[in-house]
Amino acid sequence: MALIKKPGTTKGISTNASQSDAGADPQGTAAPGAGARVVAPVMQPGVILQGRYVIEGTLGIGGMSVVYRGRDLRFKDVVRPCAIKEMYQSAPDSNTRLLNLKNFEREAGLLATLQHPAIPKVFDFFEENGRVYLILELIHGKDLETVLSEAGGPLPEDRVARWAVQLCEVLAYLHRQKPEPIVFRDMKPSNVMVTSDDRIVLIDFGIARSLVRTRGTVIGTEGYSPPEQYKGIAEPQSDLYALGATLHHLLTASDPRTETPFTFHERPLRQLNPQISPEFAAVIEKALSYDMKNRWASAEEMRLALLQTPTLRTHSSGVATAGKVAALRFSNVPTTELIWRFVCEDEVRSSPCVSNGMVFVGCYDTNLYAVDAGRGEFRWKYATEGGISSSPAVWNDIVVVGSEDGAVYACDIRRGVLRWTFRTGKPVRSSPRVLDRVIFIGSDDQHFYAIDGLRGAQIWKYRTWMPIRSSGCIAGESVYFGGGDGFVYALSIKNGGVRWKQRTQQAVISSPAFAENMVIVGSMDNTLYALDSEGGWPVWKFRTNHYVNSSPCVFGTRVFVGGVDGNLYAVELKNGKLAWKYDTGSQITSSPRVDQGRVYFGAADGCVYCLDAAHGTLIWRYETQGPVVSSPAISEGVVYIGSLDHALYALRA
């Protein structure tokens, strides 16, 4: 086989062969993979065979045969054209030559027994000057590969559907031959001719054969051939797979020979070409099942299924279906149950923290509130001297929060008694993070602090160039945070020494998440970054259409983050590729949380959203009376979240 590496020639790829196949082999002579590099002997026009068939030109040269356009001279008054297929032998060893001759004779014998409008008629078969010839009906038209390349894009569904039905008919005819079905084994666009009246004809029966249930070696054409043919198995269902692959190619213009084999399910038809009807796509995708027994049971069954698709049904009901889908999407969005609502005196921008049966949240009315988690009853509040947008954190028996007044406060969780305060030079909008007894927090005074949680004393501080609104992320020996100066910092938690800093193009107020040795963080340069935690190098970047101020949340193999462009994004952790996005139509600065396979977040449209984490479909949404910039906390089936309508909500998850 010429496809196998030979010294000094090809390694074995034949993407080019696809192009040469297309034009050069209209009558389908080439066994698949037969390299056309060997120069074939070509007869000149004017040569007459058997005193009857005159050569008029060459139609194509394949691996083991040449096809000429010819004329039957026995019809004196009319021009009766024909195709003359001449077998030639290039193989050096006599066994192969004998096998080739047998194959050629078998093709002739096979075709002679068949009678179908989509199969070329055989007129004659003879030997002359030591060569073997087959005289066939000449098909006027183009093969589908040529049709597709001339179209320069996907072919319309109705046209392809009509061909599909015809192809099913001819396959059904072949498969019902007695005593054994005939398996075509090499269905592909270049083996299908379409005539001027849009009738299709199968060409190249070079490897078609009666089904003999022993293992053969002929594979067909890579990209179209089903997996079982690689194991030498060819059943009627194998032709259905190749037919599915052929139709997939025609409808998407995505060449299966250049795609990873057997990946049709990863490239759904409607994803590549949304204009295809779901019904038609479903028929083809069933034919493309990896496992033979999951495909259509027969070509006839597939044909009947095709006839039920909207394009081929006489009465079209496509409009009604579209209307139904639209109605489903916009009416009757499910909501969830409100468990309780706790009203403060100003906006709740802070994100709640649930601990010891209590919910702690800061409010712009300057208070840190403690509320009973079960019933939403007031427990205590502690008044600072500025609004609170920082989100509280609990460590042992204290709750810590930053305030616009520039201080960090620590209160006893039971009664709200002040334990200590730590003053910075500017408002504290970053939120505390606790590890052991150390509290890490940033300030608008451009410093990032490590504070002793017992005494409220500074352990170290690190100065940056701009206010720090981002909150820290502690992993290993490092704490990671973003700066208003556009840098992402990695500091040693022990002494605040900088391990690395990596620049983004704009301010970073998103807070990092850590997973798989990567630091994931959004930037106001519209990008979500995954940085190598060792050196800060960007492993990947994911671009959105606006700021990414929401903080990413890693769950399973995905990163979830909200965009100011209105989308909630699910991005693959490994490579930064989009898994799905959900467009809320309003800004998202709230940070998503994932619990039990569901993503929760708020948006500026006042709604709290709950999406299916796997697919990004809406499960419910709950409307508050003001924008939701707070991020949810989820505990025991309850979602706690603040709203700018001054209230803290507890919703059924």
Partner 1 sequence: MSTHTSPEQPDNLPPDQSAAWRSDDSSDSTRPLDTRAVMAQANQDQRPGATEPLDDNTLPRETPPPPPAIVAAAMRHIGQIRETNQDSIYTLISSIPRETGDAILGLFIVADGMGGHEGGEIASRMAVSAVARRIIADLLVPAVEGAINVSLQALMVEAVQEANRTIWNQAQLTGSDMGTTCTAALLLGHSLYISHVGDTRAYLIDTHGIHQLTSDHSAVGRLIDMGQLDPSEARDHPLRSHLYRTVGQHPEIAVDLVFQPIGDATHLLLASDGLWGCVDDAAMLRIIQTIDSPQRAVRALVDAANRAGGPDNISAVLVRLV
> Backbone phi, then psi, for 227, in 5-degree steps?
-60, -35
- Closer by beta carbon to partner 1, 63 or else 120: 63
> Of 150-158, 161-169, 184-192, 500-508, which segment contacts partner 1 by CB under 8 A?
500-508
- Separation between Cα atoms, residue 147 and residue 190, nearest integer Å: 9
- The yes or no reply on residue 495 touching partner 1 (CB under 8 A) is yes
Q: Identify the residue among 100, 190, 252, 511 touching partner 1 (CB under 8 A).
A: 511
> Of 135-143, 197-205, 242-250, 461-469, which segment contacts partner 1 by CB under 8 A?
461-469
- Subset of residues 261 to 280 that bind partner 1, contact rule: CB under 8 A: 261-262
Give me the least distance between CB of 260 and partner 1, in Å please. Answer: 6
- The yes or no reply on residue 639 touching partner 1 (CB under 8 A) is no
Beta bridge mates, 482: 488
- Subset of residues 275 to 314 that bind partner 1, contact rule: CB under 8 A: 290
Dihedral over alpha carbons 488, 494, 499, 500 (to 10 degrees): 10
Give me the least distance between CB of 7 and partner 1, in Å please. Answer: 4
Give me the least distance between CB of 355 and partner 1, in Å please. Answer: 13
Q: Identify the residue among 66, 67, 122, 513 touching partner 1 (CB under 8 A).
A: 513
The single-letter code of the amino acid at 89 is: Q
DSSP state of 563: -
- Closer by beta carbon to partner 1, 209 or else 593: 593
**Nearest-5° Cα angle at 435, 430 to 438:** 75
- Separation between Cα atoms, residue 266 and residue 268, nearest integer Å: 6
Strand order in the sheet with 407-412: 393-395, 398-402, 407-412, 418-423
- Subset of residues 356 to 415 that bind partner 1, contact rule: CB under 8 A: 389-391, 393
DSSP state of 557: T
Would you say 114 and 166 are in contact if contact means Cβ atoms under 8 Å apart? no
Which residues, other chains included, contact 317 with Cβ-Cβ below 8 Å and sequence gap of 6+? 310
> Backbone phi, then psi, for 614, in 5-degree steps?
-75, -40
Give me the least distance between CB of 610 and partner 1, in Å please. Answer: 17
Binding mask 176-205 for partner 1 (x = CB under 8 A): ------------------------------
Give me the least distance between CB of 239 and partner 1, in Å please. Answer: 18
Give me the least distance between CB of 515 and partner 1, in Å please. Answer: 5
- Subset of residues 410 to 439 that bind partner 1, contact rule: CB under 8 A: 429-431, 433
- Subset of residues 525 to 544 that bind partner 1, contact rule: CB under 8 A: 532, 534-541
- Separation between Cα atoms, residue 239 and residue 569, nearest integer Å: 41
- Computed over its alpha carbons, how large is the radius of gyration of the chain? 36
- Subset of residues 18 to 47 that bind partner 1, contact rule: CB under 8 A: 33
Which residues, other chains included, contact 44 with Cβ-Cβ below 8 Å and sequence gap of 6+? 55
Q: Cis before residue 392, ω within 30 degrees of 0?
A: no
Q: Identify the residue among 56, 72, 137, 222 touching partner 1 (CB under 8 A).
A: 222
Containing 356, the helix (H) or strand (E) segment is: none
The single-letter code of the amino acid at 108 is: A
Would you say 410 and 456 are in contact if contact means Cβ atoms under 8 Å apart? yes
Give the residue carrying structure tokens 């993503």: 599
Q: Identify the residue among 516, 583, 623, 637 touching partner 1 (CB under 8 A).
A: 516
> Of 40-48, 53-61, 454-462, 645-653, which segment contacts partner 1 by CB under 8 A?
454-462
Give me the least distance between CB of 177 and partner 1, in Å please. Answer: 29
Size of the site for partner 1 (CB under 8 A): 117
- Closer by beta carbon to partner 1, 298 or else 366: 366
Would you say 465 and 448 are in contact if contact means Cβ atoms under 8 Å apart? no
Which residues, other chains included, contact 621 with Cβ-Cβ below 8 Å and sequence gap of 6+? 333, 334, 335, 607, 608, 609, 610
Q: Identify the residue among 202, 400, 524, 570 touching partner 1 (CB under 8 A).
A: 524
- Closer by beta carbon to partner 1, 201 or else 388: 388
- Subset of residues 74 to 93 that bind partner 1, contact rule: CB under 8 A: none
Give me the least distance between CB of 465 and partner 1, in Å please. Answer: 6
- Closer by beta carbon to partner 1, 342 or else 555: 555
- The yes or no reply on residue 66 touching partner 1 (CB under 8 A) is no
- Closer by beta carbon to partner 1, 359 or else 509: 509
Q: Identify the residue among 83, 160, 564, 571 touching partner 1 (CB under 8 A).
A: 564
- Subset of residues 581 to 610 that bind partner 1, contact rule: CB under 8 A: 587, 589-591, 593, 604
Give me the least distance between CB of 235 and partner 1, in Å please. Answer: 16
Would you say 410 and 398 are in contact if contact means Cβ atoms under 8 Å apart? yes
Q: Residue 135: helix, strand or coil by DSSP?
A: strand
Q: Cis before residue 179, ω within 30 degrees of 0?
A: yes
Give me the least distance between CB of 8 and partner 1, in Å please. Answer: 6
For residue 504, the number of C-alpha atoms closer than 13 Å in the C-beta half-sphere is 33
The single-letter code of the amino acid at 292 is: M
- Separation between Cα atoms, residue 309 and residue 296, nearest integer Å: 15
Give me the least distance between CB of 190 and partner 1, in Å please. Answer: 17
> Of 92-100, 197-205, 274-282, 469-477, which segment contacts partner 1 by CB under 8 A?
469-477
- The yes or no reply on residue 126 touching partner 1 (CB under 8 A) is no
- The yes or no reply on residue 10 touching partner 1 (CB under 8 A) is yes
Q: Identify the residue among 270, 546, 581, 652 touching partner 1 (CB under 8 A).
A: 546
b/e burial code for range 466-495 (CB count within 10 A of at least 16 → b): ebbbbbbbbbeebbbbbbbbbbbbbbebee
Give me the least distance between CB of 86 and partner 1, in Å please. Answer: 26
Give me the least distance between CB of 494 and partner 1, in Å please. Answer: 7
- Separation between Cα atoms, residue 160 and residue 189, nearest integer Å: 11
Q: Identify the residue among 466, 614, 618, 619 touching partner 1 (CB under 8 A).
A: 466
- Separation between Cα atoms, residue 653 and residue 312, nearest integer Å: 46
- Separation between Cα atoms, residue 52 and residue 72, nearest integer Å: 6
Containing 328, the helix (H) or strand (E) segment is: helix 318-330
> Of 159-167, 327-335, 412-420, 480-488, which segment contacts partner 1 by CB under 8 A?
480-488
Give me the least distance between CB of 647 and partner 1, in Å please. Answer: 16
DSSP state of 545: S
- The yes or no reply on residue 550 touching partner 1 (CB under 8 A) is yes
Which of 420, 414, 441 has its CA nearest to residue 358? 414
Give me the least distance between CB of 391 and partner 1, in Å please. Answer: 5
- The yes or no reply on residue 242 touching partner 1 (CB under 8 A) is no
Instruction: Tokens for 335, please give them.
Output: 């909501």
